Amino acid sequence: MESVQAMKQDDGKKQVITGICLILGSAIFLTAMIMKFSIHSIFDFIFFVTLAGTGMSLIGAGYSDWLKGKGPVELGVDQESGFIESLPRKMYLQMKTTSEFEADLYDFSEQSYSHVSEQLNASHKVLTKLSQWTSNSALRPAHFTVYDQSEKPVYLIEKKGGFGWRSYVKRASGEYVAYTTRTKNRTTGQTIYKYIEHSQEKWVAEGDHFIGHMTLKDADGNAWAVMKRGAINTEVPESFQSKPGSLMEWNRNEQVPHSLLAFMFIIQFHDSM
Q: Which of 137-146, 151-160, 164-173, 213-222 has the lowest mean pLDDT?
A: 137-146
Type of residue at 251: N
Over range 222-243, report the average pLDDT. Answer: 78
Selected residue with higher pLDDT from 273 and 120: 120
Q: Cα–Cα distance between 237 and 87 in angstroms, integer?
A: 17
Residue 126: the pLDDT is 54
Over range 206-235, report the average pLDDT. Answer: 87
Which helix (H) or strand (E) is 110 found in, with range? none
Residue 196 has pLDDT above 50, yes or no: yes
Residue 214: the pLDDT is 92
For 98, residues 6+ apart whose C-beta sits below 8 A from its C-beta are none
Q: Cα–Cα distance between 259 and 108 in angstroms, integer?
A: 23
Selected residue with higher pLDDT from 135 and 2: 2
Residue 80: the pLDDT is 61
- Across 31-40, 66-75, 186-195, the highest mean pLDDT is recorded for 186-195
**What is the percentage of the chain residues whose pLDDT exceeds 70?**
84
Residue 243: the pLDDT is 74
Residue 59 has pLDDT above 90, yes or no: no
Q: Cα–Cα distance between 60 and 38 in angstroms, integer?
A: 33
For 76, residues 6+ apart whose C-beta sits below 8 A from its C-beta are 171, 175, 176, 177
pLDDT band at residue 86 under the 50/70/90 scheme: very high
pLDDT band at residue 135 under the 50/70/90 scheme: very low
Selected residue with higher pLDDT from 98 and 258: 258
Residue 44: the pLDDT is 77
Selected residue with higher pLDDT from 254 and 30: 254
Residue 50 has pLDDT above 90, yes or no: no
Over range 157-170, report the average pLDDT. Answer: 84
Residue 139 has pLDDT above 80, yes or no: no
Residue 257 has pLDDT above 80, yes or no: yes
Q: Which of 47-56, 171-180, 259-268 has the lowest mean pLDDT?
A: 47-56
Over range 166-182, report the average pLDDT. Answer: 89
- Across 23-27, 162-166, 197-201, 222-226, the highest mean pLDDT is recorded for 222-226
Q: How far is CA 235 from the centre of its chain?
A: 28
The three-class DSSP label of residue 121 is coil
Q: Cα–Cα distance between 229 and 218 in angstroms, integer?
A: 20
Query: Is residue 258 within 8 Å of residue 148, measured between CB atoms?
Result: yes
Q: What are phi and psi of 53, to 5 degrees?
A: -65, -45
